[in-house]
Amino acid sequence: MFYHDNKLQYTVRVDTPDPRFARLLQQAIGGVEGEIRVMLQYLFQAWGNRGPTKYRDMLLETGTEEIGHVEMLATAVALNLEGAPASLQEQAATTNPIVGAIMGGMDPRQYLSAGMAALASDANGVPFDGSHVYASGNIAADMYSNVTAEATGRALACRLFELTDDPGMKDMLRFLIARDTMHQQQWLAVIEELGGHKGVLPIPNSFPDSEQVQDVAYDFFATGIEGVEPPAGRFT
Amino acid sequence: MFYHDNKLQYTVRVDTPDPRFARLLQQAIGGVEGEIRVMLQYLFQAWGNRGPTKYRDMLLETGTEEIGHVEMLATAVALNLEGAPASLQEQAATTNPIVGAIMGGMDPRQYLSAGMAALASDANGVPFDGSHVYASGNIAADMYSNVTAEATGRALACRLFELTDDPGMKDMLRFLIARDTMHQQQWLAVIEELGGHKGVLPIPNSFPDSEQVQDVAYDFFATGIEGVEPPAGRFT
Amino acid sequence: MFYHDNKLQYTVRVDTPDPRFARLLQQAIGGVEGEIRVMLQYLFQAWGNRGPTKYRDMLLETGTEEIGHVEMLATAVALNLEGAPASLQEQAATTNPIVGAIMGGMDPRQYLSAGMAALASDANGVPFDGSHVYASGNIAADMYSNVTAEATGRALACRLFELTDDPGMKDMLRFLIARDTMHQQQWLAVIEELGGHKGVLPIPNSFPDSEQVQDVAYDFFATGIEGVEPPAGRFT
Amino acid sequence: MFYHDNKLQYTVRVDTPDPRFARLLQQAIGGVEGEIRVMLQYLFQAWGNRGPTKYRDMLLETGTEEIGHVEMLATAVALNLEGAPASLQEQAATTNPIVGAIMGGMDPRQYLSAGMAALASDANGVPFDGSHVYASGNIAADMYSNVTAEATGRALACRLFELTDDPGMKDMLRFLIARDTMHQQQWLAVIEELGGHKGVLPIPNSFPDSEQVQDVAYDFFATGIEGVEPPAGRFT
Amino acid sequence: MFYHDNKLQYTVRVDTPDPRFARLLQQAIGGVEGEIRVMLQYLFQAWGNRGPTKYRDMLLETGTEEIGHVEMLATAVALNLEGAPASLQEQAATTNPIVGAIMGGMDPRQYLSAGMAALASDANGVPFDGSHVYASGNIAADMYSNVTAEATGRALACRLFELTDDPGMKDMLRFLIARDTMHQQQWLAVIEELGGHKGVLPIPNSFPDSEQVQDVAYDFFATGIEGVEPPAGRFT
Amino acid sequence: MFYHDNKLQYTVRVDTPDPRFARLLQQAIGGVEGEIRVMLQYLFQAWGNRGPTKYRDMLLETGTEEIGHVEMLATAVALNLEGAPASLQEQAATTNPIVGAIMGGMDPRQYLSAGMAALASDANGVPFDGSHVYASGNIAADMYSNVTAEATGRALACRLFELTDDPGMKDMLRFLIARDTMHQQQWLAVIEELGGHKGVLPIPNSFPDSEQVQDVAYDFFATGIEGVEPPAGRFT
Ligand SMILES: [Ca+2]
Ligand SMILES: [Ca+2]
Ligand SMILES: [Ca+2]
Ligand SMILES: [Ca+2]
Ligand SMILES: [Ca+2]
Ligand SMILES: [Ca+2]
């Protein structure tokens, strides 16, 4: 069961509202690397978990934290949409600040559909899609999936960090980036507890080795035609 | 910011697991009338709210409650998937209980993709779609939208109630149906506070009456060709 | 069965074509608050109706009217795409007017996919999605759904009205806004005929009160942790 | 502008309701080969048309006819859902006829979401998707697209014909199949008017031949590696 | 089975990178008229084919060619994203070239989600959707579908050609346009082999004429009300 | 550039066609864990790659291999749809074998839309969705994403293995499962080459540690309210 208070997990401050950045932040809310996805992913993994209680508990702890990240980002979007800055207005050669903001790169639906607020969509306005909630019922597969979600999520947050000069927004992103660092560690720590990468592989490890076509289970297959050298490395 | 404990808001008990019912429950999780939708809808309405604090607070209270409803239903799905009942097995004329369950109407992805757990999808396996998160920035429009969500949600829950004989499932649905009753009242109470239906109409009421083509603003338009009598009623 | 003539329901005139506005109008065509949605919603409600004939007839009358609104808006898009205005061209510092228009905020697919015409998509290019056609089989739920559709639709039309200075476009929107006013009244009038808000609640009212967990059916549940005051109002 | 009367374009009669067939009919309503698609496709082609008036007029005539086909099919779905036939009930070994119907292959959302009526979705419950509304702004491309829609639509209708023994349903399909025959002819007749297949090719024919890499414009490219004989035919 | 080498089918060269054009090219990659669609469409038609081997072989040959077209376009996107041109930077009045490029019309996800590379999406960021892979099991219907895909694909390529001044991009498009010319011929040649348009119609031609309502199979139906003249032409 | 021959990568044989299994196989074709996804994912990662050539080459080799896996599975679907087995027919108490097969759990669109062939969709008929093609531009993030794809893909293949008794299908799956084993190793080997898990973390490692809020970068945050013990483990 869930509870809330009226605080944000970390300060969200916007020094100079920027409706263009409000659009970019949408990727971190409703995008495939975003916070709605990890929130639902960890919660569904917890709710479907049949293994040791501690993993279920851990997933619930962190899934709940992620709801607060959606909250921080939705708040950041609303703050970035407070008025349309003069610079955009001038550039757009129009007297209507919202028209100017849309021409300058704002998501039109943040105004048309939401009256200047965040949407459950990505930076191109594509709605959040529940098929990205990966909860496979295999704890090792889920942990790799979670590492991936946090790795692409952190890459996204670092890119957003580069695209703003706003001190408030940079501060918020420094926090979210740090949490993504922790969460990457956290899911990998579970893999270590489960025996490490070698120990969990191949996933699922319940399938008997003798049942797979063993002589193709550790071979790199080259598909190049003549003249193409297969690459060399540990992976071949 | 959000918190959790390890309790469910109300007991979830399944006396006789039924994988077919596990599929039907998906509609209440990831369907357009489902709990993920109201959870996100109330939270996004709260986070985008620029009006009186009390509505923001109320939306946050109830949005948080709805997370717990997703949790109850996801738990109910997992319990219904515990083993495949003998009856289905026999009916399917197969010795593999999961094959039997799929033939009997189970969602195959609950096994194939989730290893016997809930998905963020509807009863046909269509993933939850964030475009159903209505948060228009207009408090009156949002309240009607919330009444609609609870009305279709309660209709869904009552239909699910009819489709199961399981005492545990019936008990859980009795609770969810009651909460939907309350939530319908709750959103309509806000409309009353705002001046009642007459008071808030037309939505948005900030648009000056004189700007609309006044002589078509209160006329019923018949589109029937000759021989078609327009219906009579208060609405014409 | 359906018929047509070669008139529009109301004049559609564009004084100064604006490809940016052509993009914004897409929300009113293929968006979740748009005219394709209400057209299909009222028609499907009519076709699935098992109640008194007059509601079926009414839904058919208005559903048919909405087809004409899609037509008006699609026409408005085409007119706004006639040539790309000089102002955009200059701003874009390019000699190709379409490149200029796309840089200035035009939907690129209106040219790339449709050769300068309307799409069955929203203002972000997301295709119309049939899951927004709500027809629940419960007349009261459907009426609230219809009020919501007209309320968010009118909010959208009023926002579009603000975003254009074109006298022709403003005139067309004045008409559509007025029709949305009427349609809000119309669906609420049905609720009054059915007994008023108190009379129809809870929806569905066929479910026996005694079957729901009665003591939570009229209680506001607070989910705040210590230090959070639940809001006070009629809704609690 | 559009009008309606209270007749169907052709009788819709169901002798023995079959909820399974109600699911299959959904493909002809909201599927990629279905009637919502052709309805919107012909109307959007008409509304975006900048060529000779007669093609616009023709598209409007037939687009309007297609609305009536959606109506026929939605009516057919509702009739097939009237009660659940005894045979299904018995087969399902359950006393609840709707549970029996769902187990027997009915679309669960026709009951759960629509209260026993048609949805704007396909036979797998996937909602109608506006990206299938092809209106390219090129009349020849659109005519081939329309032929394709009617060819796949007629193939679908013929397959539905095979899957039912109900005399009423067979009769309705005989009519719809005949209309698809006509519509295939109709769109090809436009191509003939435009100069025939040779005359319109390559589409678009406004692009100067000299601008394309002429020596690959009429060559079949084989991508088979050694040992693979390219097929021989008029197409190579 | 499939093979590759490290060459492109035709040179891809970008003289002046243009992130705006990188967005427009997405339509040709992941759009409904794009190369992922034809690649999968021809391959699925081949794999499902039960007719003469030569058509299966031909579909496989050309489906394989199309994979190389996706490759060319994805390469073109990456090259157009190499740095952000000074002109955009200045126009955007910002010192951050990526911010400038996004304001100037770049797809933000090409940076945020892909780190400056192509996505499997269209020009509005809508992901590729497998429902556009038409493979109906009827060879004649499929051939019309393929002609349509190549006709709309060539229209798209010609429009892209108009929207760029880059000599490298124009050269690449000249090649792709030529291949679309050939592929239009190719699919029509199959129809000729099958008996020509008259020979294959109505599709499917396995359905007995006597089973359809013959007297409406060759009639144009007018849906105009009084005052509307039905258009005259070969199609009526 | 790509090439093909007329062989399958491994024998595909179906001893007893089973239309129900044809539906389940769809998950491995067009599902989120399926082969279209990995095919496009590895190819897009290759085409967007700006790092050492060998990783680009490796991705191209394996991406090409995956096209052949889609081919194998599409072939397996077609073979499973050859006729409808007598057992299903009897069970369905119908003389029409396709009706029987659909009642028994076949995907209706495999017949209605594809004439007994594979679709580019998942086991619930949801079309393949390009947003699952993860290619982030960060090689380490992409490798974790690829491990996840192969881990969930192998879990899916093992589950399919359990659900069939057909010796031919079991044999094909033994091969695909073995390839998934190899591919898991392969992507992890790249991570080892890049410095191992510790070496690549946090992803992206180009973001300066000093810029993140360092004191929350390695802390487990508990969100439980009083009475909830945070779980203990390496991850906290
Ligand atoms: Ca987070
Ligand atoms: Ca609820
Ligand atoms: Ca309207
Ligand atoms: Ca039709
Ligand atoms: Ca091509
Ligand atoms: Ca594979």
Looking at residues D141-168, what average pLDDT do you find?
97
Cα separation, E208 vs F170, in Å, equals: 41
Lowest mean pLDDT among C80-94, E132-146, F125-139: C80-94
Of F136, F152, F207, the CB nearest to A134: F152
Of all ligands present, the nearest one to the C-alpha of D178 is 4
Q: Please state the φ and ψ torsions of residue B104, each to the nearest 5 degrees.
A: -80, 0
F93 contacts in chain D (CB < 8 Å): 87, 91
E2 contacts in chain A (CB < 8 Å): 223
Q: Is E162 helix (H, G, I), strand (E, B) or coil?
A: helix
Using the 8-state DSSP alphabet, how is residue E115 labeled?
A: S
- DSSP H helices, chain E, are 19-30, 35-48, 53-80, 86-92, 97-103, 108-112, 139-162, 167-193, 196-200
Interface ipTM above 0.85: yes
pLDDT number for residue B50 = 86
Of all ligands present, the nearest one to the C-alpha of D36 is 4
B38 contacts in chain A (CB < 8 Å): none
Q: Which residues pair with A129 in a beta bridge?
A: B129
Of A6, A93, A112, the CB nearest to C228: A6
For F183-195, b where at least 16 C-beta lie within 10 A, e where not — what string?
bbbbbbbbbbbbe
Residue of A nearest to C221 (CA): A3
How far separated are the first and last CA of chain A, in Å rounded? Answer: 48
pLDDT number for residue A234 = 82
Mutation site, C113, C119, C122, C128, interface E, largest E CB count within 10 A: C113
Quick one: tokens of E132? 């556009």
Residue of B nearest to D1 (CA): B223
Domain assignment present for E233: no
Restricting to E residues 54-93, those with a Cβ less than 8 Å away from any Cβ of F are 57, 60-61, 64-65, 67-68, 70-71, 74-75, 78
pLDDT number for residue C52 = 84
B134 contacts in chain C (CB < 8 Å): 32, 148, 152
Q: Is C170 helix (H, G, I), strand (E, B) or coil?
A: helix
Those residues of chain A that have pLDDT short of 50 are 86, 88-90
Q: Please state the φ and ψ torsions of residue E214, each to the nearest 5 degrees.
A: -60, -35
Tell me: the pLDDT tens digits for E185-218?
999 999 999 999 989 999 999 999 999 999 999 9
Looking at residues B96-105, what average pLDDT do you find?
83
Band of the pLDDT at F90, cuts 50, 70, 90? very low
Helix (H) or strand (E) holding A28: helix A19-30
E119/F contact by beta carbon, under 8 A: yes
Quick one: tokens of E121? 């999406």
F222 contacts in chain A (CB < 8 Å): 61
Cα separation, F132 vs A134, in Å, equals: 11
User: Could F113 and D223 be called an inter-chain contact, meaning their C-beta atoms sit closer than 8 Å?
Assistant: no
| Contact (Cβ atoms closer than 8 angstroms) between residue E81 and residue F30 | no
User: Could E163 and C102 be called an inter-chain contact, meaning their C-beta atoms sit closer than 8 Å?
Assistant: yes
pLDDT number for residue A90 = 47
Query: How many Å lie between the alpha carbon of A106 and the closest alpha carbon of chain F?
Result: 22
How far away, in angstroms, is F70 Cα from ligand 6 center?
8
pLDDT greater than 50 at residue D103: yes
How far away, in angstroms, is A225 Cα from ligand 6 center?
20
| Contact (Cβ atoms closer than 8 angstroms) between residue E69 and residue E179 | yes
For residue F135, the domain's CATH number is: 1.20.1260.10
Chains B and C form CB pairs within 8 A to the count of 252
pLDDT greater than 60 at residue C91: no
Q: Is E100 helix (H, G, I), strand (E, B) or coil?
A: helix
Q: Please state the φ and ψ torsions of residue A196, each to the nearest 5 degrees.
A: 80, 170
How far away, in angstroms, is E178 Cα from ligand 5 center?
9
Domain assignment present for A176: yes
Closest CA to F137 of E95, E30, E109: E109
Q: Which residues pair with D121 in a beta bridge?
A: D127
pLDDT number for residue C230 = 85
Of E144, E175, E218, the CB nearest to D144: E144
| Contact (Cβ atoms closer than 8 angstroms) between residue D161 and residue D172 | no
Quick one: tokens of F203? 């992803």
| Contact (Cβ atoms closer than 8 angstroms) between residue F155 and residue A142 | no
Residue of C nearest to A5 (CA): C224
pLDDT greater than 90 at residue E100: no
Amino acid at F173: L
How confident is the prediction for chain B on average, in pLDDT? Answer: 92
pLDDT number for residue D89 = 44
Tell me: the pLDDT tens digits for B144-203?
999 999 999 999 999 999 999 999 999 999 999 999 999 999 999 999 999 999 899 999
Band of the pLDDT at F131, cuts 50, 70, 90? very high
Tell me: the pLDDT tens digits for E165-192?
999 999 999 999 999 999 999 999 999 9
Band of the pLDDT at D102, cuts 50, 70, 90? confident
β-strand pairing of C2-4 with A2-4: unpaired
Beta-strand (E) ranges in chain B? 2-4
Domain assignment present for B175: yes
Looking at residues E50-78, what average pLDDT do you find?
95
Q: Is C121 helix (H, G, I), strand (E, B) or coil?
A: strand
Q: Which residues contact B40 (CB under 8 A, 6 or more apart)?
A: A36, A120, B63, B130, B133
User: Could C102 and E160 be called an inter-chain contact, meaning their C-beta atoms sit closer than 8 Å?
Assistant: no
Quick one: tokens of A112? 């048309």
How far away, in angstroms, is A69 Cα from ligand 1 center?
6
Cα separation, E39 vs D9, in Å, equals: 40
User: Could A123 and E109 be called an inter-chain contact, meaning their C-beta atoms sit closer than 8 Å?
Assistant: yes
Cα separation, E69 vs E67, in Å, equals: 5
Cα separation, A24 vs A157, in Å, equals: 10
Amino acid at B42: Y
Tell me: the pLDDT tens digits for D112-123?
999 999 999 999
Q: How much is the CA Rg of chain F, to the nearest whole Å?
A: 22
pLDDT number for residue D90 = 47
pLDDT number for residue F95 = 67
C42 contacts in chain B (CB < 8 Å): none
Of B64, B117, B137, the CB nearest to A116: B137
Cα separation, E174 vs E158, in Å, equals: 9
A113 contacts in chain C (CB < 8 Å): 27, 31-33, 152, 156
How far away, in angstroms, is E216 Cα from ligand 4 center?
12
Domain assignment present for E235: no
Q: Is D208 helix (H, G, I), strand (E, B) or coil?
A: coil
**Chains contacting F (3 or more CB pairs within 8 Å):** A, B, D, E
pLDDT greater than 80 at residue F121: yes
Largest CA distance in chain D: 73
Q: Which residue has the tokens 């069965």?
A: C1
Amino acid at C121: S
Domain assignment present for C223: no
User: Could F144 and A148 be called an inter-chain contact, meaning their C-beta atoms sit closer than 8 Å?
Assistant: yes
Of E10, E180, E203, the CB nearest to D151: E203
Mutation site, C128, C145, C179, C213, interface B, largest B CB count within 10 A: C213
Band of the pLDDT at C233, cuts 50, 70, 90? confident
pLDDT number for residue E89 = 44
Question: Which carries the bigger pLDDT value, residue D41 or residue B234?
Answer: D41
Amino acid at A25: L
pLDDT number for residue A116 = 95
Cα separation, D86 vs D19, in Å, equals: 12
Query: How many Å lie between the alpha carbon of A162 and the closest alpha carbon of chain B?
Result: 25
Q: At what angle do helices B35-48 and B53-80 cross, to 10 degrees?
A: 160
pLDDT number for residue E88 = 47
Residue of B nearest to F159 (CA): B112
Query: How many Å lie between the alpha carbon of F101 and the closest alpha carbon of chain D?
Result: 10
Residues spanned by the domain of F63: 19-203
| Contact (Cβ atoms closer than 8 angstroms) between residue A78 and residue A117 | yes
Quick one: tokens of A182? 């922790």
pLDDT number for residue A89 = 44
Looking at residues E109-119, what average pLDDT do you find?
96
User: Could D32 and F113 be called an inter-chain contact, meaning their C-beta atoms sit closer than 8 Å?
Assistant: yes
User: Could A224 and E98 be called an inter-chain contact, meaning their C-beta atoms sit closer than 8 Å?
Assistant: no
Domain assignment present for A169: yes
User: Could F64 and E117 be called an inter-chain contact, meaning their C-beta atoms sit closer than 8 Å?
Assistant: no
Tell me: the pLDDT tens digits for D44-99?
999 999 888 999 999 999 999 999 999 999 999 999 998 755 444 445 556 688 88
User: Could C108 and E155 be called an inter-chain contact, meaning their C-beta atoms sit closer than 8 Å?
Assistant: no
Band of the pLDDT at B22, cuts 50, 70, 90? very high
| Contact (Cβ atoms closer than 8 angstroms) between residue B231 and residue C61 | yes
User: Could C3 and E224 be called an inter-chain contact, meaning their C-beta atoms sit closer than 8 Å?
Assistant: yes
Domain assignment present for E236: no
Looking at residues E20-47, what average pLDDT do you find?
98
Q: Rounded to whole angstroms, what are the CA distances from F1 to A81, A221, E5, E9, F150?
A: 46, 18, 6, 6, 25
pLDDT number for residue E62 = 97
Q: Is E127 helix (H, G, I), strand (E, B) or coil?
A: strand
Looking at residues B59-84, what average pLDDT do you find?
94
Residue of F nearest to D100 (CA): F103
A25/E contact by beta carbon, under 8 A: no
How far away, in angstroms, is C69 Cα from ligand 3 center?
6
D234 contacts in chain E (CB < 8 Å): 189-190, 192-193
| Contact (Cβ atoms closer than 8 angstroms) between residue C188 and residue B201 | yes
Q: C72: exposed, middle or buried (C-beta count within 10 Å: 0-12, 13-18, 19+)?
A: buried
Of B32, B104, B123, the CB nearest to D108: B123
Using the 8-state DSSP alphabet, how is residue F128 labeled?
A: P
pLDDT number for residue C188 = 96
Band of the pLDDT at C85, cuts 50, 70, 90? low
Band of the pLDDT at F149, cuts 50, 70, 90? very high
Cα separation, D155 vs D119, in Å, equals: 22
Q: At what angle do helices D139-162 and D35-48 cross, to 10 degrees?
A: 170
D111/B contact by beta carbon, under 8 A: yes
> What does the DSSP assignment read for D22-42?
HHHHHHHHHSTTSHHHHHHHH
Chains B and D form CB pairs within 8 A to the count of 68
- The total number of structural domains in chain A stands at 1
Looking at residues B6-26, what average pLDDT do you find?
96
pLDDT number for residue E94 = 61
Lowest mean pLDDT among A114-118, E6-10, F13-17, F47-51: F47-51
pLDDT number for residue E199 = 92
Domain assignment present for D213: no
Of B91, B124, B224, the CB nearest to D109: B124
**Chains contacting D (3 or more CB pairs within 8 Å):** B, C, E, F
Cα separation, A219 vs A235, in Å, equals: 9
How far away, in angstroms, is F68 Cα from ligand 6 center?
8
C173/A contact by beta carbon, under 8 A: no
Looking at residues B9-23, what average pLDDT do you find?
96
pLDDT number for residue F89 = 44
A5/B contact by beta carbon, under 8 A: yes
Closest CA to D154 of D134, D127, D173: D173
Cα separation, F32 vs F123, in Å, equals: 10
Helix (H) or strand (E) holding B178: helix B167-193
